[in-house]
Structure formats: C-alpha cells, structure tokens
Amino acid sequence: MAGLIGAKAVAADEFVESYLPEDMAAKIPPEFQKPLAISTNANVWAYNTEAYDKCPVSNIWELTEPQWRGKVALVDPLTKSTYTDWFNQMEAHGDDKVAAAYKAHFGQELRSEEKSASAAWVKAMAQNAPLAMDGDDPVAEAVGAPGQKEPFFGLLSSAKFRDNEAKGYKLGICKELEPWVGWTYVKLGLIASKTSSPNAARLFIHYILTEEGIAPQMKDGKLPTNTDIRMPADEPSGLMAVSDRLFGYDAATGLSDFDRREEWQDLWRTNYSK
C-alpha cells in the first residue's frame, strides 16, 4: 500500500510521531514536514461592511490610539495560546515591520521601554481597553452583526466569515492593513506512538492531505499545506486574495513560543485595562 510508505519522526518523549506519506513529500513544503502540518489557519482583522464603505483602519498602530479605545474586539490572549505564540512570532520574525509600521503612522522612530516593537505594540493594545472575549463567535458578532451604528473592529478566525450567510453578518477583511492583514498558525497531523491501529492512522493522515480529505476544512478558510490543492472559489472570507499579506507561522521558534507564553501573558495582564 503506497499510502503507508513514508518518513516518520518520533517525538523525544515518544508520545506522538510525525508521519509524512512518501507520495506527498514533493507536495508539502519543507517547513510543514517536521512535524507534519495539515493546514494553516488564519486570523484576520475585520470590519463591518454595512457600517463602513471601506476598512476604517490602515495601520495596526492606529488601534492603540484614543479613537479606538474600547472599540477593538479579539479573543482574550490569556485564554488562547495561539495569540501569545503570535506575539512571540512577531517579535522573532517580524519586529522590523512592526517598527516600520510605527514610523509610517507616527512619522518618527519608535522609542519604548520594551525590548521590541512587537512588545511595545502588545502593551499599547492592552492599555487601550480592547474587548477581550472568550472565543471567535462573540468577536464575530461584535464586529459583524447587522444594524450597528458603531460596531467593533476585530481580530477573528477566517472561519467565522461563514456567518455572513448563516447569520446575515457583515464581516469584511481589511485588505490593505499594514504591516499584515492577519496571521496564521498551523494544525498538525500527528499519530499516537502506541496506537493499536498504526496503519489506519497513516491512511487517515494520507487522506486528510488530499483534496477530498481537507475539503470540509477549506470551506472554513483553512489553507491546505498540500500545494497541489486550490481553495474553493466560494470560500466565504476571500482569504486567498490576501494570502500573501498574512504573517506566516515559522515553526523554527515553536519551542520559544511555548517557553515564553507566560511572559507574554504577563505583559498583557499587567497592562490590560477595561
């Protein structure tokens, strides 16, 4: 069975293994192979298209200013680790762009007590009283529910754009936002090392790397790592039109992301105001 032939790597603690089917090796970019990532998931900055003719924000530093105080909704970084991982990823791989965005907006170089431009932005965002919520669903409602005179601006999963049809929401991606319109994280495909059905698990891994297997997730805006697969034209968010403007996840600092979660949570917690 060709689908069962491939490379595998067992984690140091031997709880899980990463298995890459041989016939998929040329289709999955190297950065998604060890460990195997099935998809990249996006969180995007969004606005209410009923209330605004175009995105009302052009630079992430605008969100730290008084006019947006208490008007930005996002998932509470203290409850979802992908958010603190994003903070760490920005500092490690995009800090120069965060600093450049500051200069572009304010017309001067950033000066801060924090050790990075990313940390300075996180601190300023926390101090500007954002609405920190317990999930993407309430964020989508705060931003996209129809009939609002002053809706929230927000950061949410691209999957929630399906609510435009299901619930009549008016969500739109901020396509020109600097320095990025959103950010991504990866969903891994791992196998329990002591599974009693290793061949079945490997067949399933192979299946979800195919177009048929990943199709239900693509409808929710999740981008397949298999480069042979194209997103459906009717994907609700229109994410592919701005995919080159997403801040991508770099697994090279994954361990640092994990180790520094508490540090980033403390930065948010000590500066957050309502």
- Per-residue 3-state assignment (H helix, E strand, C coil) for the chain: CHHHCEEEEECCCCCEEEEEEHHHCCCCCHHHCCCCEEEEEEEEEEEECCCCCCCCCCEHHHHHCHHHCCCEEEECCCCCHHHHHHHHHHHHHCHHHHHHHHHHHHCCCCCCCCCCHHHHHHHHHHHCCCEEECCHHHHHHHHHCCCCCCCCEEEEEHHHHHHHHHCCCCEEECCCCECCCEEEEEEECEEECCCCCHHHHHHHHHHHCCHHHHHHHHCCCCEECCCCCCCCCCCCCCHHHHHHHEECCCHHHHHHHHHCHHHHHHHHHHHCCC
Taking the C-alpha atoms of residue 105 and residue 96, their distance in angstroms, rounded to an integer, is 14
Q: 42: closest CA among 161, 128, 122, 144?
A: 161
Q: Does residue 156 contact residue 80 with C-beta atoms inside 8 Å?
A: no
Q: What is the CA radius of gyration of the chain?
A: 20
Phi, psi of 142 (to 5 degrees): -60, -35
Q: What is the pTM (predicted TM-score) of this model?
A: 0.87
Give dist(CA 157, CA 25) in Å, integer: 29
What pLDDT is recorded for position 218?
84
The predicted pLDDT at position 221 comes to 76
Q: What is the pLDDT of residue 2?
A: 41
Q: What is the pLDDT of residue 6?
A: 59
Residue by residue, pLDDT tens for the chain (274 residues) are 344 555 555 444 678 899 999 999 999 999 899 889 999 899 999 999 999 999 999 999 999 999 999 999 999 999 999 999 999 999 999 999 999 999 999 999 999 999 999 999 999 999 999 999 999 999 999 999 999 999 999 999 999 999 999 999 999 999 999 999 999 999 999 999 899 999 999 999 999 999 999 998 887 778 899 999 988 777 778 888 888 999 999 888 888 999 999 999 999 999 998 8
